[in-house]
């Protein structure tokens, strides 16, 4: 490479030279020659065929470059490095405890793996495409450092159980992080519900004003959805937290391994009990994606309401400036892009779920290379769900609720008509009849351009003799909500109970 650069030095036309160098660099990168710039940004050319493949013994020809590029997963599975090393350290400890490898070799292996971890952390490690994936990249680096000792690490394991282990370790950590982010957002919603305990708003069905409700009640509906998401993730964690390592390629091993010891070292609840299943199972990832799809569907519904409520038509909320964007042409615009993107990213997560389900469908047992396609959907789902939770949690406390307008709209559009019908029922009218009478009253109001509370007792008397003065207090939205008696209803006293219950679920603030 040095020779190559010095020969180029003799060129006199420097700008052209630079252009040429960069085009060579880019084309080589595309072809998979150059994998990573080093820590100083200097590109290192890897001699692709100097490293023998671990399976070279069986082959007469070298792997085609096109195949290397096509089959590699290092460009995305490098993010499993920490878990790969963690798993390998536990495996080495077990091999030594079981006297499958000498203790001195295990010490060298563990030391070497820790050094590699540091190199990766500080950006000094070079990931090589010709070494295919994270497992072989780390193993090759270890062998370079420790020679024969490193070559013993892969005893009694295969990449099939290794990759299943790494993905479980990764997803276990990320699932816990997502659970915690959900909990934080539930607390934010709870804070807002407490603040708006007594704020009235119109409740909707079919996006038509239906009955007055409390804003606190509406916000808590989202806290409930998120509670279910959190519980689903907790439940998925149970099945995720199972050790597949020791299943080896598919059939187990002839070595006297101690799988329970590895499970204990890595904090797994249990070991897998069928090696064929363990190397081919990605249910834990599918479960994670399906729970994520439900979770982001909830966030998308919330985002949609925020978008709707911030329109001129609703004017129920104003989004914080820091979380909206302007228009490049219309100076007056304040666009809810953040909420729109949360809604938009939902499709992407559904896609990932369908993508993995489709990958799995029809796969014969046990491991097949198709399974490598599990990672991109899982990684992107983790990133997307986390970023949505972080951004919505930041955005939410900045929302200004236009409580005046919400309260005013709560009593509009005959929203207390159901209260009239229930009043008549309490006076002895069968519900169906009471419903019909009230319907006729509403129609009368529409033709006379009156509100329910404008009707005189005489007018009401023409519809039913059961009406008394006490009907008027029921027509106010405040009364309507207060009069709700059922558990889980919108009555402020009930909402307060829901706040306390949810407070216990999400823990102390």
Q: How far is the CB of 164 from ligand ARG (least distance, A)?
A: 8
Q: In the window 160-189, what residues touch ligand ARG (CB under 6 A)?
A: 160, 163
Q: How far apart are CA 45 and CA 457, in angstroms?
A: 92
Per-residue contact flags (x/-) with ligand ARG for residues 331 to 370, judged by CB under 6 A: ------------------------------------x-x-
Residue in 283, 295, 293, 82 with CA at minimum distance from that of residue 179 = 295
Among 219, 225, 371, 420, contact with ligand ARG (rule: CB under 6 A): 371
Q: How far is the CB of 61 from ligand ARG (least distance, A)?
A: 18
Burial class (CB in 10 A: 0-12, 13-18, 19+), 296: buried
Q: How far is the CB of 368 from ligand ARG (least distance, A)?
A: 9
Q: In the window 49-108, what residues touch ligand ARG (CB under 6 A)?
A: 73, 77
133 or 229: CB nearest ligand ARG? 133
3-state secondary structure of 209: strand
Q: How far apart are CA 392 and CA 506, in angstroms?
A: 17
| 233, 186 Cβ separation under 8 angstroms | no
Interface with ligand ARG, residue 372, by CB under 6 A: yes
Active-site pick, 206, 328, 486, 508 = 206
Q: How far apart are CA 109 and CA 143, in angstroms?
A: 9
Distance of CA 278 to the CA centre of its chain: 24
- Active-site residue 91, yes or no? no
Distances, alpha carbon 102 to alpha carbons 138, 153, 261, 318, 430, in Å:
21, 11, 18, 67, 86
- Active-site residue 327, yes or no? yes
Active-site pick, 23, 27, 64, 327 = 327
Residue in 190, 133, 189, 184 with CA at minimum distance from that of residue 162 = 133
Within 40-178, strands assigned E span 43-45
220 or 289: CB nearest ligand ARG? 289
Q: How far is the CB of 362 from ligand ARG (least distance, A)?
A: 17
- Tracing tokens 């391994």 back to the chain, one arrives at 257
Give the number of residues in contact with ligand ARG, rule: CB under 6 A: 10
117 or 167: CB nearest ligand ARG? 167
Q: How far is the CB of 347 from ligand ARG (least distance, A)?
A: 26
Catalytic sites, residue numbers:
206, 327
Which positions touch ligand ARG (CB under 6 A)? 73, 77, 133, 159-160, 163, 367, 369, 371-372
């Amino acid at each position: 490479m040095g020779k190559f650069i010095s020969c180029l030095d003799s060129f006199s036309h420097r700008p052209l030279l630079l252009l040429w160098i960069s085009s060579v660099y880019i084309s080589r990168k595309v072809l998979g020659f150059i994998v990573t710039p080093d820590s100083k940004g200097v590109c290192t050319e890897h001699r692709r065929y100097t490293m023998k493949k671990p399976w070279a013994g069986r082959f007469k020809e070298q792997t085609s470059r096109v195949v290397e590029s096509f089959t590699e997963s290092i460009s995305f599975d490098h993010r499993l490095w920490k878990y790969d090393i963690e798993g390998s350290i536990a495996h080495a400890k077990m091999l030594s405890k079981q006297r499958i490898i000498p203790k001195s070799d295990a010490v060298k292996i563990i030391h070497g793996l820790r050094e590699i971890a540091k190199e990766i952390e500080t950006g000094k490690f070079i990931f090589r495409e010709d070494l295919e994936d994270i497992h072989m990249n780390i193993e090759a680096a270890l062998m370079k450092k420790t020679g024969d000792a490193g070559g013993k690490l892969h005893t009694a394991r295969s990449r099939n159980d290794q990759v299943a282990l790494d993905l479980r370790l990764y997803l276990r950590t990320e699932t816990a992080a997502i659970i915690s982010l959900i909990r934080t957002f539930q607390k934010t919603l709870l804070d807002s519900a407490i603040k708006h305990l007594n704020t009235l708003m119109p409740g909707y069905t079919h996006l038509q004003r239906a009955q007055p409700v409390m804003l606190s009640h509406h916000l808590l509906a989202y806290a409930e959805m998120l509670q279910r998401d959190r519980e689903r993730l907790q439940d998925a964690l149970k099945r995720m937290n199972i050790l597949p390592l020791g299943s080896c390629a598919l059939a187990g091993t002839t070595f006297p391994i101690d799988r329970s010891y590895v499970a204990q070292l890595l904090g797994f609840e249990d070991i897998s009990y069928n090696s064929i299943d363990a190397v081919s199972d990605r249910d834990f990832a599918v479960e994670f994606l399906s729970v994520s799809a439900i979770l982001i569907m909830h966030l998308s519904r919330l985002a949609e309401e925020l978008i709707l409520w911030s329109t001129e038509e609703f004017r129920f909320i104003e989004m914080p400036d820091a979380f909206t964007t302007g228009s490049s042409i219309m100076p007056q615009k304040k666009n809810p892009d953040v909420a729109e993107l949360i809604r938009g990213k939902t499709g992407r997560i559904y896609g990932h779920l369908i993508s993995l389900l489709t990958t799995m469908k029809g796969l014969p047992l046990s491991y097949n290379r198709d399974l490598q396609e599990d990672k991109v959907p899982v990684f992107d789902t983790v990133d997307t769900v986390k970023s949505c939770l972080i951004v919505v949690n930041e955005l939410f406390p900045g929302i200004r609720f236009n409580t005046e307008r919400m309260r005013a709209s709560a009593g509009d559009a005959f929203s207390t008509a159901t209260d009239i019908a229930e009043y008549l029922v309490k006076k002895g009218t069968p519900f169906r009849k009471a419903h019909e009478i009230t319907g006729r009253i509403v129609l009368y109001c529409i033709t006379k351009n009156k509100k329910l509370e404008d009707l005189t007792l005489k007018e009401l008397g023409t519809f039913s003799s059961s009406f008394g003065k006490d009907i008027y207090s029921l027509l106010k939205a405040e009364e309507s909500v207060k009069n709700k008696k059922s558990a889980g209803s919108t009555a402020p006293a009930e909402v307060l109970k829901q706040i306390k219950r949810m407070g216990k679920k999400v823990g102390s603030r």
